[in-house]
């Protein structure tokens, strides 16, 4: 997995943006210091699923039903599903020196 991530990282898609923890617009009805009005920088690169090697270790691990079963048990859910997202279902985040992904409530 490390070899594939290293090989693909140079061509990863880069995003450099600001957002609040809710990934929404600011709210003028709230105080300036309210979390919805606090914007943080995220700078990260991503290798999307369609760029990963189809038979590579990361894709094979992601597709293992045993891994889904571990997640199901940990989260105490009746069922869990693999993502249908053709790009984001399994991806690699690439961070270079000084980059970060500001905290946020995930959209998934």
Model confidence over 42-94: pLDDT tens digits?
Answer: 999 999 999 999 999 999 999 999 999 999 999 999 999 999 999 999 999 99
Distance of alpha carbon 108 from alpha carbon 100, whole angstroms: 20
pLDDT at 106: 85
Model confidence over 1-54: pLDDT tens digits?
Answer: 999 999 999 999 999 999 999 999 999 999 999 999 999 999 999 999 999 999
Which is more confidently placed, 61 or 108?
61
Question: Measured between alpha carbons, how far apart are the two ends of the chain, in Å?
Answer: 24
pLDDT at 108: 65
Structure tokens at 34: 């309210």
């Amino acid at each position: 997995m490390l070899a594939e991530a290293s090989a693909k990282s140079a061509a990863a898609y880069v995003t450099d943006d600001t957002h609040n923890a809710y990934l929404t617009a600011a709210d003028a009805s709230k105080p300036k210091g309210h979390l919805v009005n606090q914007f943080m920088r995220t700078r990260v690169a991503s290798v999307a699923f369609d760029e990963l090697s189809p038979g590579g270790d990361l894709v094979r691990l992601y597709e293992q039903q045993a891994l889904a079963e571990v997640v199901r048990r940990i989260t105490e859910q009746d069922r869990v599903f693999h993502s249908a997202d053709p790009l984001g279902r399994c991806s690699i985040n690439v961070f270079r020196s000084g980059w970060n992904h500001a905290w946020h409530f995930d959209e998934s």
